[in-house]
Structure 1
């Protein structure tokens, strides 16, 4: 039994595929993937990876539509294709899994109204579309409202314990309203991007000349993710932590057995299965206090790790949040605004 098969069939831990490329999705489903995660960058990569595959649908999009309307049209094509591949899982799991994600415009991160309106449009595309929003102060009412309307939601750009708690609380408020009104309940997945946090903190450590053990720096993302998970479990939250942006098998193996849903790229799926990791649960093991003490020398780790490390108004100011928002915007969303209107992309349709 391969590691990922063991993980999803013998433990509480499940995983989703992190790519919208159709051939990769088909392979991932065979390996046990329960859903698909995407973002603007992955949408652009899917279009570029196999232009001919998408040509018939893209040809239906008028060439004079540009900007956000064009991105939404492209996202709809990609999201519906992915959602179709996971519809059977959606039905089999009674709407707990089997979703495809559609992410709101990164430039709306501080605008509640725009995020909600766009999210509601996304949700109208298919029953198993989950709306993906950044975990900013402005997004908290969006999370609540989507949950209240019976719409699955994924909160991304989580890099701290305080963000995970705030997102969970917003979701629970929405669930309470949905229950009161007899609306079907849908899940919430709280992405914790441990790999990105590790990389960011290493930059901070180097730039500020902080003296810590190099190996300890690799525990930052896992420490934040594990603490977020335990707090949500203690609070009885229905939201599920979704570790993403893994940089090595250690980001997965140390949390094996947790009631989590991992987001795994094809590269990581192959890496994990090829390493022949011990098929053992580790979620209940403690991280060495010396490691945590060493990491707490870094102010940015304090912001990420402590329960009150950030207030909601601080979320959007976190350095790693700004870095990732910018990446989503400029290497994903913006290129999609004119995709198919240039000579290069038009040659396919």
Structure 2
């Protein structure tokens, strides 16, 4: 399973890269605004910087919600770098835009997906990634992991090549459960990835090893 970092923060992206587990990055307008990146030119420069750091795919989201504008914006974003993947929302005009852009060689991440039916439409339209929002589904007392499982089963039965990108990840457990239920990719905050390092028995074991080594030097 691939690890994408869900951020526009350059320092966090570099830290994940240096950890050796970074496969890509996802961003959105909210994450850009969080870093104080505003204005078309500044946003483009920021994407260019991210794409130089990351070897894998970098998702850049359109703002438009109508077909022609989404296509135009998607083509603009795709020109920024070879590893840009255009994020398109799961709406009627979005599906049309996915079909057009994917037919013209642009990789698409279909975002804001909350049902298996939507995931089927993503795959049929030619999206490279489908992004079910696990945390937001759990927030309304539905089962986000069941959705990942259902999409994985449907895609396997139908032979769809669209990758399942589990999004809205809130914890390290979400990452593990996404892997168990068939996600191809998770996109998550850096803290969720670093949290996977932690286990009390690891800390206890290391402390004992170091103490034994210290005693052996006396």
Q: Provide the residue aligned with 1:65 in structure 2.
A: none
Q: Provide the residue aligned with 1:221 in structure 2.
A: 144
Answer whether contact 1:193 1:244 (CA < 8 A) is retained: yes
Q: Provide the residue aligned with 1:75 in structure 2.
A: 43
Q: Provide the residue aligned with 2:76 in structure 1.
A: 121
Which structure's residues are more often strand, by fraction? 2
Select the residue among 172, 184, 206 that pairs with 1:260.
Answer: 184
TM-score under structure 1 length normalisation? 0.54
Residues 51-130 of structure 1 correspond to what in structure 2 (within 5 A)? 71-86=39-54, 89=55, 98-105=56-63, 108-109=64-65, 111-130=66-85
Deviation at 1:259, TM superposition (A): 5.5
Gaps of 5+ in 2: 202-218
Q: Provide the residue aligned with 1:232 in structure 2.
A: 155
Output one character per residue of 1:207-243: Cα deviation in whole Å (capped at 9) or x when no partner.
xxxxxxxxxx5xx111112111211121111110100
Select the residue among 20, 24, 36 that pairs with 1:35.
Answer: 24
Q: Provide the residue aligned with 1:16 in structure 2.
A: 4
Gaps of 5+ in 1: 1-12, 49-69, 90-97, 173-187, 203-216, 278-349
Deviation at 1:130, TM superposition (A): 0.9
Q: Which has the higher contact order (CA 8 A, sep 6+)?
A: 1
Q: Provide the residue aligned with 1:155 in structure 2.
A: 110
Question: Does the C-alpha gap of structure 1 residues 259 and 243 become closer, same or farther in structure 2, counting only changes over 3 Å?
Answer: closer
Q: Does 1:144 align with 2:84?
A: no
CA RMSD of aligned residues (A): 1.9
Q: Provide the residue aligned with 1:334 in structure 2.
A: none
Residues 139-218 of structure 1 correspond to what in structure 2 (within 5 A)? 139-171=94-126, 188-199=128-139, 201-202=140-141
